[in-house]
Amino acid sequence: MLPSVKERKKNANKFHLCYEEVCKVQNVMPLPAVMAHRKKSVLCLSGDRLAYREWGPILHALSQDRSLQFIGVRSKAVEPRAGTVERVPSLQTRRVLLPLMKAIQTCMNHTEALTSVELEALPLGSDLLCNFIQGIKSCRPLQNVSLHRSPIRDEGCRLICRAIKGLTNIKCVDLSGCGITARGAMAVAEMLKYQKIQRYSETWKQTLRGCDPDVDSLPGLRRVTLNHNTDIGDDGAVHLVNAVRDDIFVKALDLQNCGVGNTGGKAALEMLQLNVSLAVMDLRANKNINSELLTQIMRRLYMNNHGASQKEKGICPHQGCAVAGVCEAGQAQGVC
């Protein structure tokens, strides 16, 4: 039996209930992949196998939603083999991406529950990215943003950083594998510098009031992940290292496989001798860094942490998360 109008209105703002109701109206079966994390208020969707017609109920429910705490939409985005003709997943087409980004933006504009958004390997042009950025600006509970493997490149990185630098609710940004070069790394560095100045200003105000500043309670970025952007290189790494040299607020900087060599490694080691607040400086998988230098960096990090665990330092071991205790991304995947 079809639900009444009263029941549909009651369920409209709850994603999974709304999705079920729309499926009933359209006489189609709800997809198990969509309903998998219903009890956790999580949408964690690998969209490559979804046909175009299957996106309709999902997009409608998403645009109405006010209940989801985590939204994850992922694509494998595998390059077709030479000499073969393979079907392009509907998720990789503008026909789905445009309404998807508008639905996510609408959800972010009105929700009070959403804390994490992960969009993996989605070809987001500047207009689609602008929709997403407008949603980020209006979503006050949002803490974690990931565009892992989405080829936004330097211009997209600049747009994201320009939006996030003025937001104090965002704790973690993951731009791994996004095609970012040293130019994009400069935009990230400017974002970190801006937030650093704002937070030092706030600690100064607290001091004037006769209070002892609580550094860990100040809002703002705690972790920046830029892994697998192989064109960042030494130049980009030096910009980032200089940005956090005297930053006592950022706790983790991930630069795995970013084309960093000994110049960037030495700059990181010098920075860690001054900045004892940084709990994670991940330079693994950079083949051009001398192994002895990498060992010195790891030893310095150990000394700075005094042997404390990552959770004791307030950093979740799951990359892409912000502060321990708010790791919806890791909880959704059963790793935190």
Residue 293 lies in a domain: yes
Q: Containing domain of residue 104, as a range?
A: 39-51+68-75+92-307
Residue 56 lies in a domain: no
- Look at residue 35 and tell me whether its pLDDT is greater than 80: yes
Per-residue pLDDT of 68-120, as tens digits, reads 999 999 999 755 555 555 688 999 999 999 999 999 999 999 999 999 999 99
Mean pLDDT calculated for residue range 58-63: 97
Averaged pLDDT score across all residues of the chain: 88
Residue 318 lies in a domain: no
CATH number of the domain that 298 lies in? Answer: 3.80.10.10
Residue 328 lies in a domain: no
pTM for the predicted model, two decimal places = 0.88
- Look at residue 124 and tell me whether its pLDDT is greater than 90: yes
- Return the structure tokens found at 176: 């791994």
Query: Which residues on adjacent β-strands are paired with residue 74?
Result: 46, 120
The percent of residues in the chain predicted with pLDDT above 70, rounded, is: 85
Alpha-carbon gap, residue 160 to 155, rounded angstroms: 9
Mean pLDDT calculated for residue range 189-197: 97
Structural domain total, the chain: 1
156 residue type, one letter: G
Helix (H, G, I), strand (E, B) or coil at 323: strand
- For the chain, how are helix, strand and coil distributed in percent, rounded to 5? 50, 10, 40
Q: How far is CA 105 from CA 65, 69, 112, 130, 335, in A?
A: 11, 14, 13, 10, 28
Residue 10 pLDDT level (bands cut at 50, 70, 90): low
- Look at residue 333 and tell me whether its pLDDT is greater than 70: no
**Residue 218 burial (C-beta neighbours within 10 Å; 0-12, 13-18, 19+):** middle
Are 249 and 279 in contact, with CB atoms under 8 Å apart?
Answer: no
Give 111's contacts (C-beta < 8 A, 6+ positions apart): 65, 66, 67, 68, 139, 141
Helix (H, G, I), strand (E, B) or coil at 282: strand
Q: Where would I find the H helices in 209-334?
A: 233-243, 262-274, 291-305, 328-332
Alpha-carbon gap, residue 205 to 125, rounded angstroms: 41
Mean pLDDT calculated for residue range 126-143: 97
DSSP string of 8-68? HHHHTTSHHHHHHHHHHHTT-PPPHHHHTTGGGTEEEEEGGG--GGGHHHHHHHHHH-S--
Alpha-carbon gap, residue 222 to 252, rounded angstroms: 6
Residue 27 lies in a domain: no
Strand residue runs (E) in 42-153? 42-46, 70-74, 116-120, 144-146
The dihedral built from the CA positions of residue 200, 202, 203 and 205, taken in this order, carries a sign that is positive
Q: How far is CA 16 from CA 10, 35, 55, 105, 177, in A?
A: 12, 7, 14, 18, 31
For residue 227, give the nearest of 190, 188, 192 by alpha carbon. Answer: 188
- Confidence at residue 325, expressed as pLDDT on a 0 to 100 scale: 33
- Return the structure tokens found at 299: 């030893």
The percent of residues in the chain predicted with pLDDT above 90, rounded, is: 78
Backbone φ and ψ for 160, nearest 5 degrees, come out as -65, -45
Residue 329 lies in a domain: no
- Look at residue 330 and tell me whether its pLDDT is greater than 50: no
Residue 24 lies in a domain: no
Per-residue pLDDT of 268-291, as tens digits, reads 999 999 999 999 999 999 999 999
- Look at residue 45 and tell me whether its pLDDT is greater than 70: yes
Residue 144 lies in a domain: yes
